[in-house]
Amino acid sequence: MYVTDIEVHQPMTLDEAAAELGRYAPDARLLAGGTDLLVDLKTGRVRVGHLISINRIAALRGVTEKNGGLQIGALTVISQLSGTPLVREQFAPILDATREMAAPQIRNVATVGGNIASAVPCADLPPILTALHASVRLWSPGGERDVLLEAFFVGPRQTVRRTAEVLTAVLVPRPAPQFGAAYARFALRDGNAIAVAAVAASLLLERDHTVRAARIVLGAVAPVPRLVEAAAAELRGRPADEDAFRHAAEAAREAAEPISDVRGSADFRRELVAVLTRRALAGAYRRAMESQAWSSRAG
């Protein structure tokens, strides 16, 4: 399908972008890497007369350390995120997601902001970032607000972002000592295949290895990345062992609300959720045990 006539605007600053949005909304969309939006325009899912490219806004680029946590500029592309030394050394759970996403060509243009703002239920970054207690920063001429990811998504391709707001950054807090997280996904092949089901898990352990806090977040099996409180409740206060993981996996399976499509039936996806939850919890537990803070205290 052809993309019909579209005017592309290239603001240099957030204020200019806001002015363009004010002028053309609702007949306008922000454009970042275009890997979601151009497909939507070609298939007719989205029809607008104006694209406001944010690619020249330098303030939206780069990954920096903030109080031991990460501030990821919205225009950071996936390959840049996964190549950042700070991410590689201290936020390895994010790499579980980035290494499986799409293919290198897409990872070189797809942005972190776009992966979140598009609110596609099978997107890979939202579940692991939610397990890491991340939030998004939303900017408009009226001010800035930070929204926790679990409160950001309201439906497939729907978020609480207002039309005038630009997602400027993702904030990932510094992991607590004895904290670990992991992401497990299933796709029909290794490269360039979206997730059929995915689970992110995080665990905060006591010194005796009981679970102080946990998060289980499902991807691709519900209208939004689903934080499953019932699964966390199965873990809290219990030893972090196979038995607890199995109970949490059952709660996660119950909470899944998958569809059936060409990639798999709803029943198959529910089964995947249980398996992936156990896998993600095992990974989260391993990372919590390996965490530097734990080793140095134990020593």
Ligand X SMILES: Cc1cc2nc3c(=O)[nH]c(=O)nc-3n(C[C@H](O)[C@H](O)[C@H](O)COP(=O)(O)OP(=O)(O)OC[C@H]3O[C@@H](n4cnc5c(N)ncnc54)[C@H](O)[C@@H]3O)c2cc1C
CB of 30 to ligand X, least distance (A): 4
Measured from each CB, the residue nearest to ligand X is 114
Name the segment binding ligand X (CB under 6 A); options: 100-108, 228-236, 238-246, 248-256: 100-108
Question: Angle between the 266-290 and 242-255 helix axes, to the nearest 10 degrees?
Answer: 140
Residue 113 in contact with ligand X, rule: CB under 6 A: yes
**Helix ranges (DSSP H) in 165-213:** none
CB of 140 to ligand X, least distance (A): 11
Going by C-alpha positions, the residue among 109, 127, 114 that lies closest to residue 224 is 127
Name the segment binding ligand X (CB under 6 A); options: 5-13, 31-39, 142-150, 242-250: 31-39
Look up residue 269 and give its two tokens.
């996806």
Answer yes or no: are the C-beta atoms of 138 and 168 closer than 8 Å.
yes
Residue 216 in contact with ligand X, rule: CB under 6 A: no
CB of 161 to ligand X, least distance (A): 6
Instruction: Report CA-CA distances (Å) from 120 to 33, 221, 224, 271, 281.
Output: 15, 11, 8, 22, 24
Residue 111 in contact with ligand X, rule: CB under 6 A: yes
Q: Which is nearer to ligand X, 91 or 294 (CB)?
A: 91
In the list 9, 18, 21, 33, the residue contacting ligand X (rule: CB under 6 A) is 33
Instruction: Report CA-CA distances (Å) from 104 to 36, 79, 100, 133.
Output: 16, 7, 10, 27
Residue 96 in contact with ligand X, rule: CB under 6 A: no
CB of 157 to ligand X, least distance (A): 8
d(CA 259, CA 118): 19
Residue 158 in contact with ligand X, rule: CB under 6 A: no
Going by C-alpha positions, the residue among 175, 174, 168 that lies closest to residue 72 is 168
CB of 92 to ligand X, least distance (A): 18
Give the interface with ligand X as residue ranges (CB under 6 A): 29-37, 39, 54, 74, 101-102, 106, 110-111, 113-115, 117-118, 120, 123-124, 166-167, 192, 194
